[in-house]
Structure 1
Amino acid sequence: MKEVLVFQTSVTTHQRVNQVKPVLDNLMHSGEKWNFDLEDCDYILRVEAIRVQALVIIHSLNKAGFICRKLED
C-alpha cells in the first residue's frame, strides 16, 4: 500500500526542481511518484511511495543543498 509523505522544502523554482529531480527519481520504485507545489508558501514536496522512508528523502535533499522537513500527519 502506498504511503503519502508531505514535506516543507526550500525548493522554490522549477529550475531547483530540475536540480533535485535525479535525486528523487533515484529513490523511487516503479509506480511511485513525487511532485512539488511551488504555489504553496511551504514549497510542498508530496511523495506517494511504498518503500521510501521520510529520513532518506530529507537526507537526500539536505545533501543536495536544500532544506526539507516532514510535515506532521
Structure 2
Amino acid sequence: MPVYIFKTNVINQSQVKGLKSNLNQLARKNERWNFDLEDCDKILRVETREPSAKKFAKALEIQGFHCEEL
C-alpha cells in the first residue's frame, strides 16, 4: 500500500487528538495514519489505497492547519 508523506504544523498530541476523529473517518479498512511530531516537518504519514491522499490534507486545512505533500 502506498505511503503518502505530508509536512504539517501540528505541534502536539492535543492537536492530534482533535484531528483523530476526522482522520479516522477518512481512513478505510486497513488504512493507517500517524504523526511524527519529533520530525522538524511534523510529518503526517498516510498509508492508503487511494491514488491520492489529498483528502487527509484537506481535513487538516479545514481545521486550520497547514499540510503539504512532500
**TM-score of the superposition, structure 2-length normalised?**
0.92
What letter matches 2:29 in structure 1?
A: S
Corresponding position of 2:62: 63
Corresponding position of 1:19: 18
Percentage of matched positions with identical amino acids:
41
* TM-aligned CA distance change 1:52 to 1:34, over 3 Å: farther
Return 5+ residue gaps in structure 2 as ranges. none
**TM-score of the superposition, structure 1-length normalised?**
0.88
Return 5+ residue gaps in structure 1 as ranges. none
Contact 2:46 2:53 in 1 (8 A): no
The number of residue pairs the alignment matches comes to 70
Q: CA RMSD in A?
A: 1.2
Contact 1:28 1:52 in 2 (8 A): no
Deviation by residue 1:27-64 (Cα, 9 ceiling, x = unmatched): 10111101100100100000111127332122111001
What letter matches 1:14 in structure 2?
A: Q
SS, match of residue 22 in structure 1: helix
What letter matches 2:23 in structure 1?
A: L
